[in-house]
Amino acid sequence: MRAVKGRHTGPELTVRRALHRLGYRFRLHRRDLPGTPDIVLPAHAAAIFVHGCFWHGHRCRKGRLPTSNVAFWSAKIARNRARDAAARAALRRQGWHCLTIWQCHTRDCDRLDDVLLSFLSGRSESKDGRRRRAG
């Protein structure tokens, strides 16, 4: 498990490319925010988490538990899910909007673009409530 990357993963790079292609600018891995979101768009008060289906317990084909050592893996995935929920709740209390993008959803670029655009379309307010210039 030491070789598993936590940053700059393939799905994360795909989301970053999509955001850049759509004209958004962002910051990466802000350690001063709860949960250290993968992508942060401060102008939109938006935080994006890009989760691997296996590691964060997505209910898809890639998110299935291994058949060996089930107790260990189910406890580990449950802890990851609880930590993710706590980070999202803390961010929302601070005025941030959160989006989770799953690894399996990064395969379809058109769908990914639609999800990102719909998430960010109405978010031209800063987290302190002042309107920002769109675009």
Residues 57-72 have pLDDT tens digits of 999 988 888 889 999 9
Question: Among residues of the chain, what percentage have pLDDT more than 70?
Answer: 86
**How far apart are the C-alpha atoms of 118 and 107, rounded to whole Å?**
18
82 contacts 31 by C-beta, under 8 angstroms: no
120 contacts 24 by C-beta, under 8 angstroms: yes
Query: How high is the mean pLDDT of the chain?
Result: 88
Residues 6 or more apart in contact with residue 45 via CB below 8 angstroms: 95, 96, 97, 123, 125, 126, 127
Q: What is the pLDDT of residues 1-36, one digit of tens each?
A: 555 667 778 899 999 999 999 999 999 999 999 999
Report the length, in residues, of the chain. Answer: 135
pTM: 0.84
Chain position carrying tokens 């995935």: 77
Residues 6 or more apart in contact with residue 15 via CB below 8 angstroms: 38, 39, 48, 50, 101, 106, 112, 116
> In the predicted model, is pLDDT for residue 93 greater than 80?
yes
Q: What is the pLDDT of residue 3?
A: 58
Q: What is the pLDDT of residue 126?
A: 46
Q: How far is CA 106 from the centre of its chain?
A: 11
At residue 98, φ and ψ (nearest 5 deg) are: -115, 145
| pLDDT-based confidence at residue 89 (cuts at 50, 70, 90) | very high
Domain 10-114: CATH class, spelled out? alpha beta
Q: Give me the residue spans of the domains in the chain.
A: 10-114
Q: What is the pLDDT of residue 1?
A: 56
Question: Among residues of the chain, what percentage have pLDDT more than 90?
Answer: 76
> In the predicted model, is pLDDT for residue 123 greater than 90?
no
| pLDDT-based confidence at residue 114 (cuts at 50, 70, 90) | very high
50 contacts 116 by C-beta, under 8 angstroms: no
